[in-house]
A and B are shown apart, each in its own frame.
Chain A
Amino acid sequence: MMKNNLEKPKAGLYIHIPFCKKKCNYCSFYSLTAINKAPEFIAALQKEMEIYQDWWPEYDTVYLGGGTPSLLSINHLAELAHKIRKIFSLSSDAEWTIEVNPDDITLTFLKNIKSCGFNRLSIGIQSIQDNTLSWLGRRHNAQQALQAFDLAKKAGFQNIGVDLIYGVPISKLTLWEKELQQIIALKPEHISAYQLSFEPGSIFFKKKNQGHIQPLREKEEFSFFVNTSQILQTAGYIHYEVSNFSRDQTKKSAHNQKYWQHLPYLGLGPAAHSFRPFRRHWNHRSLDQYCQDLSKNIAPIKGFEELKINELRLETLYFGFRTSRGIDLKKIQEKFNQNLISDPPGLAHRLIQEKKLILFNGYLAPTTLGLALADALPLLW
């Protein structure tokens, strides 16, 4: 092992699988339905790995996201896992996550991906109410969702995360709370509960702008958000990021935390973003362009940015207010020469008094009320 390995944090590896059987109404991620292009994509992806062979010395997380990674055949997935291990140096206890769709998976499939080395599942349950699922444009129904969880357990996964969407205009707070209790009863290690948002590029975004969908009012959104947090915390979950909850400290998504701590991550596949101090780059948001570049052994990079000190500062605040860990005051002082407690005067104390922030062990951290305002807080400093 190289000497400076010890000083360097470990990186995360993200791989974007850009295929879906059908685009969901709320989704703005890059995906296509041309699954027949999978072989070409898998080949290109392996070339891309080779290009980035020496990008970072060691990795401790792998995350297959999408799109719908569970659309790939088990052969393709095995091939990828094998290649990852061959090209990159991975810690033995690395977290290997794959996103799966409830309607794609069988017990055999799950057992197979487990034997590929994946030790964490993120199941796109979204809802366990049929009308909500069809309104969202999902392929599966509630029964399939619950069954998928059951199969994951049977396949032997001990770290299962479920993705949920709440705050859909056709639902009600009380119904969502009931739904959440049913999920809690499954005892997943991790819950990502996303408040429905209208992302530019999604079908819902268009419908909202045309006036066909009336989003919740801010007051209702706030109730949904706070109640979700309270219910999950009461059930013993840690609300460690705006939309993320874990059953204990060890079950937080190691991979996702890299995004929020300016830790390095390498993103492969179309539209994937990569970061290492202090440069971010992103790939072409087009599978064709992506494959074309790689056929010429060119890194399929669309753009990049070097973070300037002010940008880094803003991101640090932004991430800090989104995570319950909060902002390391000493680090801010050292890196950006700002004392967040006294500059501007009175602000931090006012927010602490209003129970939006807490001061704990040298960290300025958001409470649940603070997390609900995470996007507005950085602009106050």
Chain B
Amino acid sequence: MVNIRNFGIIAHIDHGKSTLADRLIERTGVIDPRLFKDQILDTMDLERERGITIKSQAIRLPYKAQNNKEYELNLIDTPGHVDFSYEVSRALAACEGVLLLVDASQGVEAQTIANLYLAMEHDLAIIPIINKIDLPSADIDRVLNQIDSELGLDPDETILCSAKEGIGISEILEAIVNRLPSPKGDDHNPLSALIFDAQYDSFRGTIIFSRIFNGQVKAGDEIKLMSNNARYTAEEVGYFRLKRIKCPSLSSGEVGYIIAGVKTVSDARIGDTITLARHPVENTLPGFREVKPVVFSSIYPVSTEDYEDLIIALEKYKLNDAALVYEKDSSAALGLGFRCGFLGLLHLEIVQERLEREYDLSLIMTVPTVQYFIFSKTGKKITIDNPALYPDPLTIEKIEEPFIKAIIIIPDQYMGAVMKLCLDRRGINTGYHYIGSGRLEMTFELPLAEVIYDFYDKLKSITQGYGSFDYEILDYRESDIVKVDILINAEKVDALSQLVHADRARDRALHACEKLKEEIPRQMFKIPIQGTISNKVIARATISPFRKDVLAKCYGGDISRKRKLLEKQKKGKKRMKMVGSVGIPQKAFLAVLKTESD
């Protein structure tokens, strides 16, 4: 165990985490460097194409240090987005230390700090690394300064590196060995193992990624998942190189996988504790919680005939994504579909893209919503995450919506713009302080609903890309939430209804009307589009009819071609969602979700 090091790499997005991981894998000889580019990266590209990166697993790197001792370095990858902060926290819980990567030209960003806090919460040893020092725009002194003043870490212990050029890699490997602690634990204690990730394999079922804290597990053991007392028999244990490598047992301090006939990844919950059924541990590992979705949206197939395919696709997809929750939903306009819950907007986008790409579906998603608490006048509290379930406003006593705490780090010249953005989004500024020369950390309390809309894009644009952002859910607060309906040609399109704050209702309704006007093809008839609250029109737009659509010539040689053209148009029309006599293309639904692309 003294020769084991379990570590992760944490970084703001694009600071070079993947490149450094590649370099460590290459340098420790897991892959022949000559084959590395040609073959391994190819397969990894393929994996990436499919949305699963090899390194989201945990890879075991054999390393012979300068002290001539053999070490087992377990690199545990962490997802790099705020939506997945719980998963990150569990991955970090499996480590003793982290490499904290900072881009030499970008410097410290919001996620750097958020990740640092996470690492500190887990009492991890931290090795600061400045990456991309080869860039012409690298400003090492400034970043060293930030590491000192903003992160409170020792700049003298910082390693300078260019993962791309292979500079500093040896120093990093030595630092992992020398500066990160070895795991503690005892093989003779009852088994206590943390699930920090799980992936679905179509041949073997769920592959559980686990860190053993105490005890041992081997094939044939009956294991127990402590959150729900589910029992399974371990069929195989092992560790990862680039493939799974079977081994007789996993012992305390080690990181590896367990295959135990667990059907779906949802049954192997991240953060749960594995123990042995016949000799269970008394206490679960700390930090486990149920993953709860915070953003909700309905998914419909563009073509109603694809509903069966969507069912199958979701079932298959769900095997590998425990965070997605869904249930049946139906819409008068869009037919049968599913109401889904996501960890955040990125998660939503990933799910949509993967369903469309991997299962060849065309999908329509409704406007994302958060979860509201509605208190009725009779004193009942209901939770809704779907505008369709919004009750009669007259019966509502009050509504509460979720708030988040947001940390935003910006160069100080953008303070005014960010302040305005957050206040426009009904935010409350709870503080700001300088964290280094010219850099400001601002904290806000914001309604989550405002953040899932287009907040991050806006923030990026007003700060010219320099603003960074992280958040956590805070609490629920009373709020004036109304339901905005959209009517196309006087027919309500239920799938376009949204729950919004009363102050924002008009803007959002107008935005939806105008986007629909742009995207719905003109027809022979005038098409009014209206946004309403309780049947009162608050926004409108009109699609003017076309009056001329005819080709001048139609003689012998023109007929077949023209008929084929008409047939094609007819098919195109079939792919649209018909609301009354109006065909609405899929992109119109998508456009309503998107904000002004200024």
Q: Do B566 and A280 have beta carbons less than 8 Å apart?
A: no
Q: Do B547 and A373 have beta carbons less than 8 Å apart?
A: yes
Mask for B559-579, Cβ within 8 A of A = 1, else 0? 110110011011001000000
Q: Do B552 and A194 have beta carbons less than 8 Å apart?
A: yes
User: Which residue of chain A has the shortest Cβ distance to B522 in the bound complex?
Assistant: A218
The smallest C-beta distance from B554 to any residue of chain A, in angstroms, reads 6
Q: Do A375 and B552 have beta carbons less than 8 Å apart?
A: no
Whether, in the assembled complex, A237 has its beta carbon less than 8 Å from a beta carbon of chain B, the answer is no
Neighbouring B residues of A29 by C-beta, 8 Å: 557
Mask for A121-163, Cβ within 8 A of B = 1, else 0? 0000000000000000000000000000000000000000000
CB under 8 Å from chain A, chain B span 530-576 = 546-557, 559-560, 562-563, 566-567, 569-570, 573
Q: Do B570 and A272 have beta carbons less than 8 Å apart?
A: no
The smallest C-beta distance from A340 to any residue of chain B, in angstroms, reads 16
Whether, in the assembled complex, A59 has its beta carbon less than 8 Å from a beta carbon of chain B, the answer is no
Neighbouring A residues of B549 by C-beta, 8 Å: 372-376
Interface residue stretch chosen among A82-90, A106-114, A310-318:
A310-318
* Inter-chain CB contacts under 8 Å: number: 96
Q: Do B551 and A265 have beta carbons less than 8 Å apart?
A: no
Complexed CA–CA distance, A380 and B550 (Å): 14
Whether, in the assembled complex, A14 has its beta carbon less than 8 Å from a beta carbon of chain B, the answer is yes
Mask for A356-381, Cβ within 8 A of B = 1, else 0? 10000000000001011111111110
Whether, in the assembled complex, B312 has its beta carbon less than 8 Å from a beta carbon of chain A, the answer is no
Whether, in the assembled complex, B524 has its beta carbon less than 8 Å from a beta carbon of chain A, the answer is yes
Complexed CA–CA distance, A269 and B569 (Å): 31
Q: Do A267 and B550 have beta carbons less than 8 Å apart?
A: no
Whether, in the assembled complex, A334 has its beta carbon less than 8 Å from a beta carbon of chain B, the answer is no
Whether, in the assembled complex, A119 has its beta carbon less than 8 Å from a beta carbon of chain B, the answer is no
Q: Which of B550, B557, B570, B573 contacts A375 (CB 8 A)?
A: B550
Q: Do B550 and A242 have beta carbons less than 8 Å apart?
A: yes
Q: Do A259 and B555 have beta carbons less than 8 Å apart?
A: yes
Q: Do B556 and A318 have beta carbons less than 8 Å apart?
A: no
Q: Do B556 and A265 have beta carbons less than 8 Å apart?
A: yes
Complexed CA–CA distance, A222 and B548 (Å): 5
Interface size for B (C-beta < 8 A) is 24
Q: Which of B525, B546, B562, B581 contacts A318 (CB 8 A)?
A: B562
Q: Do B555 and A256 have beta carbons less than 8 Å apart?
A: yes
Whether, in the assembled complex, A204 has its beta carbon less than 8 Å from a beta carbon of chain B, the answer is no
Whether, in the assembled complex, A322 has its beta carbon less than 8 Å from a beta carbon of chain B, the answer is yes
Mask for A340-362, Cβ within 8 A of B = 1, else 0? 00000001001000001000000
Q: Do B559 and A271 have beta carbons less than 8 Å apart?
A: no
Q: Do B569 and A379 have beta carbons less than 8 Å apart?
A: yes
Neighbouring B residues of A373 by C-beta, 8 Å: 524, 546-550
Q: Do A318 and B548 have beta carbons less than 8 Å apart?
A: no
Q: Do B552 and A315 have beta carbons less than 8 Å apart?
A: no
Whether, in the assembled complex, A245 has its beta carbon less than 8 Å from a beta carbon of chain B, the answer is no
Whether, in the assembled complex, A221 has its beta carbon less than 8 Å from a beta carbon of chain B, the answer is yes
User: Which residue of chain A has the shortest Cβ distance to B556 in the bound complex?
Assistant: A273
Whether, in the assembled complex, A7 has its beta carbon less than 8 Å from a beta carbon of chain B, the answer is no
Q: Do A369 and B553 have beta carbons less than 8 Å apart?
A: no
Q: Which of B548, B559, B560, B569 contacts A218 (CB 8 A)?
A: B548
Q: Do B567 and A314 have beta carbons less than 8 Å apart?
A: yes
Complexed CA–CA distance, A195 and B555 (Å): 15
Whether, in the assembled complex, A197 has its beta carbon less than 8 Å from a beta carbon of chain B, the answer is yes
Whether, in the assembled complex, A324 has its beta carbon less than 8 Å from a beta carbon of chain B, the answer is no
Complexed CA–CA distance, A221 and B550 (Å): 10
Neighbouring B residues of A194 by C-beta, 8 Å: 552-553
Neighbouring A residues of B566 by C-beta, 8 Å: 314, 318, 375, 378-379
CB under 8 Å from chain B, chain A span 156-192 = none
Mask for A263-275, Cβ within 8 A of B = 1, else 0? 0010100011111
Neighbouring B residues of A319 by C-beta, 8 Å: 554
User: Which residue of chain A has the shortest Cβ distance to B567 in the bound complex?
Assistant: A314
Whether, in the assembled complex, A68 has its beta carbon less than 8 Å from a beta carbon of chain B, the answer is no
Q: Do A218 and B554 have beta carbons less than 8 Å apart?
A: no
Neighbouring B residues of A56 by C-beta, 8 Å: none
Mask for B229-245, Cβ within 8 A of A = 1, else 0? 00000000000000000
Mask for B492-507, Cβ within 8 A of A = 1, else 0? 0000000000000000
Q: Do A259 and B552 have beta carbons less than 8 Å apart?
A: no
CB under 8 Å from chain A, chain B span 571-592 = 573, 581
Whether, in the assembled complex, A243 has its beta carbon less than 8 Å from a beta carbon of chain B, the answer is yes
Q: Do B552 and A197 have beta carbons less than 8 Å apart?
A: yes
The smallest C-beta distance from A225 to any residue of chain B, in angstroms, reads 6
Neighbouring B residues of A197 by C-beta, 8 Å: 551-553
Complexed CA–CA distance, A29 and B556 (Å): 12
Which of B549, B552, B567, B569 has the largest number of chain A CB atoms within 10 A?
A: B552
Neighbouring A residues of B562 by C-beta, 8 Å: 318, 375
- A222-B547, A373-B524, A379-B566 known; A267 vs B552 contact (CB < 8 Å): no
CB under 8 Å from chain B, chain A span 295-318 = 305, 311, 314-315, 318
Neighbouring B residues of A271 by C-beta, 8 Å: 557
- A314-B563, A379-B566 known; A267 vs B556 contact (CB < 8 Å): yes
Complexed CA–CA distance, A375 and B549 (Å): 6
Complexed CA–CA distance, A133 and B573 (Å): 40
Q: Do B547 and A218 have beta carbons less than 8 Å apart?
A: yes
User: Which residue of chain A has the shortest Cβ distance to B557 in the bound complex?
Assistant: A273
Complexed CA–CA distance, A265 and B554 (Å): 14
Q: Do A195 and B552 have beta carbons less than 8 Å apart?
A: yes
User: Which residue of chain B has the shortest Cβ distance to A380 in the bound complex?
Assistant: B524
Complexed CA–CA distance, A308 and B573 (Å): 21
Whether, in the assembled complex, A282 has its beta carbon less than 8 Å from a beta carbon of chain B, the answer is yes
Complexed CA–CA distance, A29 and B551 (Å): 15
Neighbouring A residues of B546 by C-beta, 8 Å: 218, 373, 376
User: Which residue of chain A has the shortest Cβ distance to B523 in the bound complex?
Assistant: A376
Neighbouring B residues of A256 by C-beta, 8 Å: 555
Neighbouring A residues of B569 by C-beta, 8 Å: 379
Complexed CA–CA distance, A141 and B19 (Å): 72
Q: Do B559 and A371 have beta carbons less than 8 Å apart?
A: no
Q: Do A259 and B524 have beta carbons less than 8 Å apart?
A: no
Complexed CA–CA distance, A305 and B551 (Å): 23
Neighbouring A residues of B581 by C-beta, 8 Å: 347
Neighbouring A residues of B570 by C-beta, 8 Å: 379
Q: Do A369 and B547 have beta carbons less than 8 Å apart?
A: yes
Neighbouring B residues of A14 by C-beta, 8 Å: 556
Complexed CA–CA distance, A52 and B573 (Å): 41
- A197-B552, A243-B552 known; A273 vs B559 contact (CB < 8 Å): yes
Neighbouring A residues of B525 by C-beta, 8 Å: 350
Q: Do A259 and B551 have beta carbons less than 8 Å apart?
A: no
Complexed CA–CA distance, A371 and B582 (Å): 22
Mask for A221-234, Cβ within 8 A of B = 1, else 0? 11001000000000
The smallest C-beta distance from A124 to any residue of chain B, in angstroms, reads 14
Complexed CA–CA distance, A347 and B557 (Å): 31
The smallest C-beta distance from B146 to any residue of chain A, in angstroms, reads 51
Complexed CA–CA distance, A242 and B570 (Å): 22
Q: Which of B550, B557, B563 contacts A371 (CB 8 A)?
A: B550
The smallest C-beta distance from B556 to any residue of chain A, in angstroms, reads 4
**19 sample A-B contacts, Cβ–Cβ < 8 Å, listed by A number:** A219-B547, A225-B548, A225-B550, A241-B554, A242-B552, A243-B553, A259-B555, A271-B557, A273-B557, A311-B563, A314-B566, A319-B554, A372-B548, A372-B549, A373-B547, A373-B548, A373-B549, A375-B551, A379-B566
Taking Cβ atoms with an 8 Å cutoff, the residues of B that contact A are 524-525, 546-557, 559-560, 562-563, 566-567, 569-570, 573, 581
4 nearest A-B residue pairs (beta carbon): A273-B556, A222-B548, A194-B552, A376-B549
Taking Cβ atoms with an 8 Å cutoff, the residues of A that contact B are 14, 29, 194-197, 218-219, 221-222, 225, 241-243, 256, 259-260, 265, 267, 271-275, 280, 282, 305, 311, 314-315, 318-319, 322, 347, 350, 356, 369, 371-380
Given contacts A225-B548, A373-B524, 6 further A-B contacts (CB under 8 A): A218-B548, A273-B559, A282-B560, A322-B554, A373-B546, A379-B570
